[in-house]
Structure 1
Amino acid sequence: MRFSNFLFPESRDQARDGQVLDEVLAEVQLCEALGMEALWLSEHHFDGNCAYVDPVAFAAVIAAATQRIRIGFAVAQMSLHHPIRLAEQLSLIDHVSKGRLIVGLGRGTNYNIYEYQGYGIDHEESQARFEEAAGILMQAWTSENGFSHRGRFWDLKVPVLRPRPYTRPHPFTIRATASEASITALGRQGEPFLMNVQSNDTTRHRIALWRQAAQEAGIGDAAIAAALGESWVWRNVFVAETDAEAERIGLPAFTAMQEHRAAMRNRVLAEQGLIMGHAGAPPPARIDPRHALICGSPATVAEQMQAVAATGAGGVILAFRMGPMSYAQVESSLTLFMEQVAPQLSQPLVAAAAGT
């Protein structure tokens, strides 16, 4: 199993934003020193739930500050970006990182209507914007002689993109999936996936759907194994010397994190009467610690990670920093995980196929 860190730092106080960013950069350096494979960046605006806000700018900082670790987006909110500007920025970061970039593609948030409002975008257009932007992104990276595009949202006449991507034909890309339909569609194409927090049973079921769709599409066993090796599922984690200590710190931090992430949504609902998603829907797995949180001593966490590995996922995106945790707590948890848990679970890495 492969391990990576989801950098999702909360900042509740505007006056502490800079300090939190300094701590995240220290976390980046620690992850590289401990031998973690990848870092993942999110994108959220206006609410302090993701202190660095802009994953593209922050990825450039990480690329310049590291030598080995891969840098991924989980995900950049495509519907909020101009696709040509994004193509240029990611091509540049691909060069600075010497091909360490993983471009996670997704529509953007399914929950925070205020992010679309802040950018002046109708949230109901987000999926269509994403699909059009993703196509433009690929065309910009691969066109050798420039191209024209006339679509619903963009009317473009583009000369050859500069710089050309370091990775040919384009940076490694991967799509987010949040439903059985989307993971089945990716399976038919034999493409790897990013899966949001789900129970282990749901994760196992959806990976089985992906595999079945790939096999029915005639994709060979080697290609299936390679794509699953490049696929990632998300969990939160906290490791301490004992189960009791881990639960004392980890569970309240997880709860506080979920409350803070819902606060702005609740405020917008109270003030505007607007909410994304379906009212009355059952609580998602991402807010249920039984499914979203791996917490305990190194032995307990290793056992819980074995259960995740049994789902068939190639790698796990682990969020170590939850809510109001101190950096010292995150540093200790990360170190315990990589020194005492990961050696029990690590397997030879599956090499990334450039341009997948």
Structure 2
Amino acid sequence: MLKFSNFLFTESREPAMDARVIRECLEEAKLCDDLGVEVLWLAEHHFDGNCAYVDPTTFAAAILAATRRIKVGFAVAQVSLHHPVRLAEQIALLDNIGEGRLIVGLGRGTAYNVYEYQGYGIDWREAHDRYAEAEAIMLKAWTSKSGFTHAGQFWDIKAPRLRPECFTQPHPAVLRAASSEEGAMHLAERGLPFMMNVQSLEATRQRLAAYRARLAAAGHDEATIARCLDESWVWRNVVVAETDAEAARIGIPAFEAMQEQRRVMRERVYAEQGIRMVQETVPPARVQVESALIHGSPATVAAKMAEIDRTGVGGVICSFRLGPMPAAVANESIRLFMTRVAPEFQPRQAVAAE
């Protein structure tokens, strides 16, 4: 059945707000654990306050220590910004802290915010190649029992055996982001699941159908195809309230303010430096209310989730706290979703008995 998760991608608009928002993020994680949310996904973004806790590896340690059931995933770790052995080591430690509750979502890094690469002294045009080389190094680090060497474009490494070794053998579940259809097709050929960014329902249907067809064309059997679909996730922004009108009143302004906040820094950099990583002539689905925001009463949201369920994907990554939305409002949306929407798709999630 369709799985539901929370993307904890919370902004902090001013430095003076950071400490409070980070505390609220941790409380939201504990609420999700109590309500039976499947996975809590963490983002990685730097310098602009659009992801308050900034570093998913550090924050994952706090969440894993404060929760009991919920899995913690990266959506995604920006691999091109990290030394791969250091990141592999941190992930192995997290896997031990959570005793196997980690999903390692990997991606090259942002496709929009050039200042994140500049802040780390990395040429953004190297991001894809750095990611590919780093992922290969990380897999070597996790699986080698006697150390390994690597000579590549960006790193020359002679490393002893990684310690601690991963709690999950041979390593935690790894999930790759695919922001384009080309990326999804490449993963289909390898027989790997993927995470899809925000798309319209029609684009989601088309991409998943193409992904399924490419899996079959690549020679993967029905069991592999079913596993890949079950382990793949799509992302939506979600607001649930008692009525459709209340959800629209709460959700639409918060969503629009969030998109404007995310745009500001990259536009400032473009004005100052003339650098824009992506040229967009038409607003993409991820910034349009009609395609990117599911909002309404529990019945309305359940009907929209049922449409996603019929695509065959395994799970939905739901962003509940949008832009300047207060924590209490987001938490009530999560409660309504988990008690009145999620049970329509699977046996009722067990709420922790204290």
TM-score normalised by structure 2 residue count: 0.97
Structure 1 equivalent of residue 100 of structure 2: 99
Whole-angstrom CA distance in 2 between matches of 1:250 and 1:203: 22
Contact 2:342–2:348 under 8 Å retained in 1: no
Q: Following superposition of structure 1 onto structure 2, how do residues 1-356 of structure 1 map, counting pairs within 5 Å?
A: 1-278=2-279, 280-346=280-346
Q: Percent identity?
A: 59
Q: Out of 120-129 and 281-290, give the one that drifted further.
A: 281-290
2:235 alignment partner, SS class: strand
1:233 alignment partner, SS class: strand
- Cα offset for 1:281? 2.9
- Cα offset for 1:216? 1.4
- Cα offset for 1:347? 6.5
Q: What value does the CA root-mean-square deviation take over the aligned residues?
A: 1.2
In the alignment, structure 1 segments of 5+ residues that lack a partner are: 350-356
Contact 1:187–1:209 under 8 Å retained in 2: no
Whole-angstrom CA distance in 1 between matches of 2:139 and 2:25: 31
Contact 1:269–1:275 under 8 Å retained in 2: yes
Contact 1:2–1:347 under 8 Å retained in 2: no
Q: What per-residue deviation string (whole Å, max 9, x for no partner) do you get for residues 159-216 of structure 1?
A: 1100111111111001100112111111112211000001111111111111111111
TM-score normalised by structure 1 residue count: 0.96
Q: What per-residue deviation string (whole Å, max 9, x for no partner) do you get for residues 226-272 of structure 1?
A: 12111100000000011111100100000000000000011111111
Q: Which amino acid aligns with 2:230?
A: G
- Cα offset for 1:7? 0.2
In the alignment, structure 2 segments of 5+ residues that lack a partner are: 350-354
- Cα offset for 1:348? 10
Equivalenced residue count is: 348
1:237 alignment partner, SS class: strand
Q: 1:209 to 1:138 in 2, by over 3 A?
A: same
1:262 alignment partner, SS class: helix
Structure 2 equivalent of residue 354 of structure 1: none
2:322 alignment partner, SS class: coil
Structure 2 equivalent of residue 353 of structure 1: none
Q: What per-residue deviation string (whole Å, max 9, x for no partner) do you get for residues 1-38 of structure 1?
A: 10000000110011110100111111001101101110
- Cα offset for 1:65? 0.7
Structure 1 residue runs of 4 or more that deviate by more than 4 Å after TM superposition: none
